[in-house]
């Protein structure tokens, strides 16, 4: 079916929302956490395992796939779903954040971005039109507009200039959209300035209009208190009948807090990157598996977790794999971390449905943050 978003319920005590996104590759229940599959792969896992963990949508990276293997190759091979053997929804970002991260290797103009490849130094140019063309070719379910990610810190004048460019690029992205089955999300910039964020919302939503809306330019080095303040004051300004996506934010406590502001979608590399580095999430603590205290620990990472790793392996074995540099360490750790995030989202959706989200938020933050604080 064509793309559609349905808002099912709003929590009366907070801004939390329960919804469902319909795409031609299936439904996505919100609030949702979207694991990152940068190179059309969730690192260390086969797609069947990712699905078994409860993942309904993944994020692939436009910048990386444009450089290698190239969007024309992906299109010839049947599109990104067939290419990576994933028949559920896929969101592709615009590559704006990756280009922003290149620093001196890129030059931003009105027309687009000239940059050097981080792979071989070759020069490339991406415009709002070409970014949409690339995502059309890959066939993702949700595409993102090209935006300029405002750095932190930035002066009001710098943030305003960046916002204005993002708005002009958003208009060009929408004009370039051709495929009716693919949704296109606009991105709100504006730095850490409420007045600019409000103007960004008005321009992107009321004046242009998209299938969904994202907050960009957050989690780029600013203190969390500022990030929460911007999200809390900006998200409620976005249209109620469209998904609200907080890009690049994904620590468990951040998700639990920002769901209460009305955020529907999150993505982040945290669960997979932390897994590869031996940091495992539980409802009570973060387990640094290399620590000597786990050498003879025959307990699972989390006795309340239903993942394959926790059902079959001890902390002692996981520590052994990590210390030995075994590839299986990354696989088992990633299975656990992604399942932790999926279970967290399932609990959040259940609580919103039952009208108990505020209590879940209070209980989770009280336990989770206090345990982390006690171990720092």
Whether the bond into 31 is cis, omega within 30 of 0: yes
| Cβ–Cβ under 8 Å, residues 301 and 315 | yes
Annotation marks residue 254 as catalytic: no
Q: Where in the chain is the domain with CATH 3.20.20.105?
A: 4-268
Q: Which residues contact 333 (CB under 8 A, 6 or more apart)?
A: 275, 276, 278, 280, 289, 309, 318, 322
Q: Are 196 and 190 in contact (CB under 8 A)?
A: yes
pLDDT, position 134: 97
pTM of this structure: 0.97
Of 11, 141, 147, 267, which is the active-site residue?
A: 267
Flag whether pLDDT at 373 surpasses 70: no
Instruction: Determine what percent of the chain is predicted with pLDDT higher than 70.
Output: 98
pLDDT bin (cut points 50, 70, 90) of residue 1 is low
pLDDT value, residue 102:
78
Q: What is the pLDDT of residue 188?
A: 98
CB 77 within 8 Å of CB 83: yes
Quote the CA–CA distance of 322 and 320 in Å, as a whole number.
6
Average pLDDT over residues 242-256: 97
Lowest mean pLDDT among 102-106, 232-236, 318-322, 359-363: 102-106
Lowest mean pLDDT among 11-15, 74-78, 349-353: 11-15
Active site residue 93: yes
3-state helix vs strand vs coil in the chain, percent to 5: 45, 20, 35
Q: Catalytic residue among 93, 141, 254, 302, which?
A: 93
Backbone angles phi, psi at 277, to 5 degrees: -100, 10
The string of pLDDT tens digits covering residues 123-171 is 999 999 999 999 999 999 999 999 999 999 999 999 999 999 999 999 9
Instruction: Place 371 in a pLDDT band, splitting at 50, 70 and 90.
Output: low
Q: Look up the CATH number of domain 4-268.
A: 3.20.20.105
Average confidence score pLDDT of the chain: 95
Statement: residue 104 has pLDDT above 80? no
């Amino acid at each position: 079916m064509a793309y559609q978003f349905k808002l099912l319920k709003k929590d009366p005590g907070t801004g939390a929302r329960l919804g469902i996104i319909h795409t031609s590759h299936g439904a996505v229940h919100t609030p949702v956490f979207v694991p990152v599959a940068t190179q059309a792969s969730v690192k260390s896992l086969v797609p069947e395992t990712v699905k078994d963990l409860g993942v309904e949508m993944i994020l692939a990276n436009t910048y990386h796939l444009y450089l290698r293997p190239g969007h024309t190759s992906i299109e010839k091979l049947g599109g990104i779903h067939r290419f990576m053997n994933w028949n559920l929804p896929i969101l592709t970002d615009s590559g704006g954040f990756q280009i922003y991260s290149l620093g001196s290797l890129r030059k931003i103009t009105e027309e687009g971005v000239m940059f050097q490849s981080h792979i071989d130094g070759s020069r490339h140019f991406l415009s709002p039109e070409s970014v949409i063309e690339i995502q059309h070719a890959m066939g993702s379910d949700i595409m993102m507009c090209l935006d300029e990610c405002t750095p932190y810190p930035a002066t009001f004048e710098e943030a305003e200039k960046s916002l204005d460019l993002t708005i002009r690029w958003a208009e060009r992205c929408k004009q370039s959209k051709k495929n009716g089955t693919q949704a296109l999300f606009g991105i709100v910039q504006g730095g850490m300035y409420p007045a600019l964020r409000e103007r960004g919302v008005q321009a992107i939503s009321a004046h242009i209009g998209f299938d969904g809306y994202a907050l960009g330019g957050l989690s780029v080095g600013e203190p969390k208190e500022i990030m929460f303040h911007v999200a809390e004051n900006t998200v409620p300004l976005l249209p109620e009948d469209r998904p609200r996506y907080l890009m690049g934010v994904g620590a468990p406590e951040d998700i639990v807090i920002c769901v209460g502001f009305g955020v529907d979608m999150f993505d982040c590399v945290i669960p997979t990157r932390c897994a590869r580095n031996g940091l495992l999430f539980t409802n009570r603590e973060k387990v640094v598996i290399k620590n000597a205290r786990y050498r003879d620990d025959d307990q699972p990472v989390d006795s309340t977790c239903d993942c394959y790793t926790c059902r079959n392996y001890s902390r002692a074995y996981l520590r052994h794999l990590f210390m030995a540099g075994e590839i299986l360490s990354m696989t088992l750790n990633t299975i656990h971390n992604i399942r932790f995030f999926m279970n967290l989202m399932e609990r959040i959706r259940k609580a919103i449905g039952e009208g108990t989200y505020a209590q879940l938020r209070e209980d989770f933050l009280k336990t989770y943050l206090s345990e982390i604080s006690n171990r720092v």
